[in-house]
Amino acid sequence: MPEISKLAELRKLLLGMERAMGLQELSSAERDVFYAASDIAEFEEKIQTTGLMNHTLVTDISRPTFFRALKSLVEKGYLSHCSKRTRGLYVLNRRDG
Amino acid sequence: MADPSHSVPQLLIETLAASGVYLLAFFVTILVISPVQHSFFSEFPSRASLLFLPHGVRVLAAWLLGWRSTVALLPGILIGSVFVYGGDAFGPGQLVASTIALTVGPATFHALALAGYDIFPRPDRSPCWACVMATGVAISILNGVLINAALGSGPVDYFAFLIGDVSGLFFLMLILMFVFRSMRLRDS
């Protein structure tokens, strides 16, 4: 795992702590994308970016804001990439971290 | 193809980062926290720090690097030991204590992984901070038992080390959490 990934993993670990302490806040766009992802995850294990973009909760969000929110949700540990090689596929993380 | 994360330059970077952070935590503990503690709790029978931040660095390094943390932390732990014990740092007792401090962390994380509780970081899942914290407590207990067995220190020291390690890990994680949080809020 490269150095930058280790730093990212450390940040993810401490974001979990921040979330458990109730200190982490989500923007309205991040909340909408997260709720949309949770909705899709009820039926599908892997969440496709295209499916997420077409969800009714996020259709009003502009494309750049959507991708910023998606990136932020990954950084905050709410969503994860399915694998390093497969872009555009995400899984919802369990909320026990 | 060889994994670039296992290269020698990578190990040098890890060593500089891990030992550098370890020494920073060590000197803050020895030069700032301990004198304050001793001025407030002068009757406390042990000289052990009740807030030992370097334990947090050892646990987080072992979680992030696995066995590589033994190499990455070696210079930091040796320099810290020489600062406190001088030439005695290379005596058999202190060398055993340093070896225990270096190896118990990664050994515990790897033993847990072998037992089916793999909490090492992976890109496809969220790390569990409470699991890392709990493992840090287990590492402290194992460290204390082994070091006390090797050096023959008393039960007061054992409990003082345990309190210092656990509070040190928690406060280091708390400090890092607020540092990362302030960086994120500043960037947004």
- The string of pLDDT tens digits covering residues B161-172 is 899 999 999 999
C-alpha to C-alpha distance for B22 and A50, rounded to whole angstroms: 45
Helix and strand counts by DSSP (H, E) for chain B: 7, 0
Q: Please tell me the predicted confidence (pLDDT) of residue A88.
A: 82
Q: How far separated are the first and last CA of chain B, in Å rounded?
A: 39
Give the pair of three-digit tokens for residue A57. 């909760």
Question: pTM of this prediction?
Answer: 0.74
Confidence bin at A91 (pLDDT 50/70/90): confident
Mutate to test the interface with A, among B65, B129, B176 (most CBs of A within 10 A): B129
- In sign, the C-alpha dihedral spanning B117, B122, B126, B129 is positive
Q: Please tell me the predicted confidence (pLDDT) of residue A86.
A: 67
**Nearest CB neighbour to A80, from listed B10, B14, B124:** B124
Q: Please tell me the predicted confidence (pLDDT) of residue B30.
A: 92
**Nearest CB neighbour to B180, from listed A11, A20, A84:** A11
Least confident of A83-87, B55-59, B85-89, B139-143: A83-87
Domain spans of chain B, in order of start: 4-37+54-187
- In chain B, which residues have their Cβ closer than 8 Å to the Cβ of A69? none
B121 touches chain A (CB under 8 A): yes
Q: Which helix (H) or strand (E) holds A90?
A: strand A89-92
pLDDT in tens, B110-144: 999 999 999 999 877 788 999 999 999 999 999 98
Q: CA dihedral in degrees (B121, B125, B126, B132; nearest 10)?
A: -40
Contact yes or no for B126 and A14 at CB 8 A: no
Percent over 70 (pLDDT), chain B: 94
B181 touches chain A (CB under 8 A): yes
- In chain A, which residues have their Cβ closer than 8 Å to the Cβ of B132? 13
- In chain B, which residues have their Cβ closer than 8 Å to the Cβ of A10? 60, 64, 176
Contact yes or no for B128 and A97 at CB 8 A: yes
Whether the pLDDT of residue A33 is over 50: the answer is: yes
Whether the pLDDT of residue B19 is over 90: the answer is: yes
Contact yes or no for B121 and A1 at CB 8 A: yes
Whether the pLDDT of residue B149 is over 90: the answer is: no
- In chain B, which residues have their Cβ closer than 8 Å to the Cβ of A4? none
C-alpha to C-alpha distance for A42 and A96, rounded to whole angstroms: 18
For B68-154, where are the alpha helices, taking DSSP H only?
Answer: 68-85, 92-114, 129-151
Contact yes or no for B4 and A2 at CB 8 A: yes
- In chain B, which residues have their Cβ closer than 8 Å to the Cβ of A12? 121, 126-127
Does the interface predicted TM-score (ipTM) exceed 0.90?
no
Q: Please tell me the predicted confidence (pLDDT) of residue B4.
A: 56
Under DSSP, is residue B77 helix (H, G, I), strand (E, B) or coil? helix
Whether the pLDDT of residue A95 is over 70: the answer is: no
The whole-angstrom distance between A59's CA and the closest CA on chain B is 23
pLDDT in tens, B71-114: 999 999 999 999 988 888 888 888 998 999 999 999 999 999 99
Percent over 90 (pLDDT), chain B: 59
Q: Please tell me the predicted confidence (pLDDT) of residue A96.
A: 47
Confidence bin at A97 (pLDDT 50/70/90): very low
Contact yes or no for A14 and B4 at CB 8 A: no
Q: How far separated are the first and last CA of chain A, in Å rounded?
A: 21
Residues 6+ apart with CB under 8 A from B115: none
Least confident of B5-19, B46-60, B150-164: B150-164
Mutate to test the interface with B, among A3, A10, A13 (most CBs of B within 10 A): A13
Q: Which residue has the higher pLDDT, B64 or B5?
A: B64
Cross-strand bridge partners of residue A34: none
Q: Please tell me the predicted confidence (pLDDT) of residue B136.
A: 97
The whole-angstrom distance between A26's CA and the closest CA on chain B is 12
Q: Please tell me the predicted confidence (pLDDT) of residue B1.
A: 45
Least confident of A72-76, B4-8, B179-183: B4-8
Domains and CATH numbers, chain A: 3-92 (1.10.10)
C-alpha to C-alpha distance for B58 and A63, rounded to whole angstroms: 43
